[in-house]
Amino acid sequence: MEFIPEDIQRYVEAHTDAESELLLDLNRETHVKVMMPRMLSGHLQGRALSMISHMIKPSRILEIGTYTGYSALCMAEGLAEGGKLITLDKNEELEEMVRGYFEKAGYSNVIDFRLGNAIELIPEIEGPFDLVFIDADKANYYNYFKLVFEKVRPGGFIIADNVLWSGKVIQTEKKIDKDTQAILDFNRLTHEDDRVENVLLPIRDGLMILRKK
């Protein structure tokens, strides 16, 4: 994931608004207590998600892949008054930690945290959504896109994380594993989909931003 020069990364972060104390605590606790802390959105990407949310001022957000709740808290910052964020994850072991931080942030009544298989949960959730953030298992990225597409309002946005996949998307000299192929397929299929406009941003591990026409 660290394919952007370290000195450039440090400069970018130094000239980006700092994390709140609560987000910094969550960042630290995730790195100390949780497996695969690299899955955390972190400082730069978190501020980018917050900025995008503030720009859109969404009334309804759907997040697929909660992890420890960092990205949900960042996007919730830009919610319109009376807005709601629904976040889905299947890891029951992190539930207490996640709900605890939502409570500390004062977002317990704003964030609807649901446990279960997103493939099964999404069809039961009513739209429309102004913003959808996909950051779960890579094998199902395009399936998630297809499931949420009709639930996104015209002019709404879908953002997918990890679309550069630690640079593996351009490492054609090596055998391509299943997750890398899934990301390659997602990037190609969404780029070729004339129902959306798209831009791939090299923020952290890559953010694909799609706007539904």
* 95 confidence band (pLDDT: 50, 70, 90): very high
* 5 confidence band (pLDDT: 50, 70, 90): confident
Tokens encoding 42: 């972190």
Q: Are 73 and 45 in contact (CB under 8 A)?
A: no
DSSP structure class, residue 29: H
Using CA atoms, how far apart are residues 3 and 7, in angstroms rounded to an integer?
Answer: 11
Out of 1.20.140.10, 3.40.50.150, 3.50.50.60, 3.40.1450.10, select the CATH number for domain 6-212. Answer: 3.40.50.150
Q: Is the pTM of this model over 0.85?
A: yes
pLDDT greater than 70 at residue 1: no
Kindly report each contact of residues 100-103 with a partner whose C-beta sits within 8 Å and lies 24 or more positions away, as own/partner: 101/22, 101/26, 101/68, 101/69, 101/73, 102/69, 102/72, 102/73
Where do we find the tokens 């391509």?
A: 176
Using CA atoms, how far apart are residues 181 and 122, in angstroms rounded to an integer?
Answer: 24
* 37 confidence band (pLDDT: 50, 70, 90): confident
pLDDT tens for residues 148-199? 999 999 999 999 999 999 889 998 777 889 999 999 999 999 999 999 999 9
Least confident of 11-25, 35-49, 177-191: 35-49
Predicted confidence at residue 164, as pLDDT, reads 95
Mean pLDDT of 33-59: 94
Domain ranges of the chain: 6-212
Q: Are 131 and 61 in contact (CB under 8 A)?
A: yes
Higher pLDDT, 124 or 5: 124
Mean pLDDT of 118-141: 97
DSSP strands (E only) in 10-128: 60-64, 84-89, 111-115
Mean pLDDT of the chain: 95
Q: Are 76 and 87 in contact (CB under 8 A)?
A: no
Higher pLDDT, 184 or 1: 184
Where do we find the tokens 């446990």?
A: 115
